[in-house]
Amino acid sequence: MQADSSEIQPFNELPEALVEELLDQCGTMGETLSHSFRHLLESKVEIRTALADNGLLKHDSDLLTNHSYPTSCGVDGAYTLERLLSTDMVAVAGVAVEGLTPPSETRHWEYPHHLCEVLPTKHHGKTGLVTRAIMFAMELHLASSAPHDVVFLDGSFTTPLINIQQALYTIDEVDTNLSNLLLEQLESTLEAYETLLYARRSDQQFVSVPKYTTHNQVAKILLKSGMYEDRALLSFVLQAGEYIRPFPYQVPESMWSFAEPSLKEMGNLKTIIDGMSNLYVVYYRPFLHSPTFRLELPYAVATNRDRLSNVFEAIKLQSGVPGIFEPYPLYLADRMVKQMGKAVPAIRKATTQEMLQFWDQAEAEVYLLMHGYRTEIGR
């Protein structure tokens, strides 16, 4: 497959003087980062000692005494908003992908393993916000219906509820077709959310695995400073098989002050907020070739040795390939949903061709009205 010309020549369309100035600044940036990384490396022994003294540093050999070969799947979502001259076109999808399956597994997961919608919407600045909430609703539905032993979710457990609340503030302003799509599944979405947050079935674990984080709870304990983010710090410090014992997820109380009536009317909102308040965090590095993973877990999973062992075993089974920095099913789901950005222009062209079959005026008008200006992609 031929590489994109922008990847081969990234500076091709920039002014020469601008490129030279950007490259000149690389030296300063490299020196700053090198100094920061060196400081971490020099402090590694001291940090490991502090982890042990605080009772935080553990090894997975304490948990992985018996192998159960758990099945797993990863859930991710994406949306694309293409802004046209006459209207907007929205495509949103949630995808679930099974992980590497143990040879002895005989259970079959019925298709489909995805949910999707594509529809035209009127121009509005908040269309992307509502579409993103619909994407999270699809992810929650897929995750709650998966039959696997361990279900990995992309991102943080708290993100869907925050986005759904923000979307509901502007639900009356966006296109009716879009708003109805979110409102019709709101109740079932919260039921799915509750299923994930409480993980009441002892044979099923739900794990949220954010790739990008800003949390520094551990760094503040070890370094008395919030300069470093926990996941980056512990990727320097932890050795293969080591983890930081589960500790409570600090959620600001202000995050749960909901004023949106649509959410307040849902009877299980308080149950969901209570579940959020009982989330736990574990940092785990399965192999030296992988980074340290931040794992957000329901209370029932984090405080049970057998269930936590199940999670660690699934991560080790699905993270054995160097160069893939997340559990394999999440990696595959992410690769799939990234193709949404390429699919929508093709859908627009197909839609335009369909429109022309029923159009008895000048074809140029249709092509003009369906002209795309900008594509917004979210995951």
The structure's pTM equals: 0.84
* Confidence label for 141 from pLDDT (cuts 50, 70 and 90): very high
Distance CA 190, CA 168 (A): 14
pLDDT at 1: 45
CB-CB contact of 196 with 144 (8 Å): yes
Cβ burial, residue 10 (10 Å; 0-12/13-18/19+): exposed
How many other CB atoms sit within 10 Å of the CB of residue 295? Answer: 24
**pLDDT given for residue 364 in this prediction:** 58
Give the residue, 158 or 227, on which the prediction is more confident: 158
Q: Quick: pLDDT tens for 28-84.
A: 777 777 777 777 777 788 888 888 888 889 999 988 888 888 999 999 999 888 877
Cβ-in-10-Å burial (0-12, 13-18, 19+) of 99 comes to buried
Instruction: Compute the distance between CA of residue 6 and CA of residue 116 in angstroms, rounded to an integer.
Output: 30
Higher pLDDT, 172 or 108: 172
Across the chain, what does the average pLDDT equal?
81
> Could you give the CA distance from residue 264 to residue 297 in angstroms, rounded to a whole number?
25
Least trusted range by pLDDT, from 47-51, 69-73, 231-235, 343-347: 343-347
The pLDDT, as a whole number, for residue 76 is 94
Mean pLDDT computed over 179-184: 90
**pLDDT for the residue 99:** 86
Across residues 249-263, what is the average pLDDT?
64
Q: Where are the domains of the chain?
A: 61-340
The pLDDT assigned to 4 comes to 52
- Give every CB contact of residue 292 below 8 A, 6+ residues apart in sequence: 231, 234, 235, 238, 283, 284, 285
Q: Whole-angstrom Cα distance, residue 298 to residue 302?
A: 6
**pLDDT attached to residue 349:** 67
Top mean pLDDT of 69-83, 220-234, 282-296, 355-369 is at 282-296
What is the fold, at CATH topology level, of the domain defined by 61-340? archaeoglobus fulgidus dsm 4304 fold (3.30.2170)
Q: Which residue has the higher pLDDT, 130 or 7?
A: 130
Better-scored residue on pLDDT, 5 or 106? 106
Taking only the tens place, the pLDDT of each residue in 322-339 is 888 899 999 999 888 887
Q: For residue 145, report the phi and psi dihedrals to the nearest 5 degrees.
A: -95, -5
pLDDT at 6 over 70: no
| Average pLDDT of the residues in 183-212 | 92
Does 275 have pLDDT greater than 60? Answer: yes
User: Is the pLDDT confidence value at 19 over 60?
Assistant: yes
The angle, 0 to 180 degrees and rounded to 10, between the axes of the packed helices 44-53 and 16-42 is 50
Q: What percent of the chain has pLDDT over 70?
A: 78
pLDDT at 375 over 80: no
Task: Return the residue matching tokens 């192998």.
Answer: 67
CB 378 within 8 A of CB 135: yes
For residues 301 and 278, is the Cβ–Cβ distance under 8 A?
Answer: no
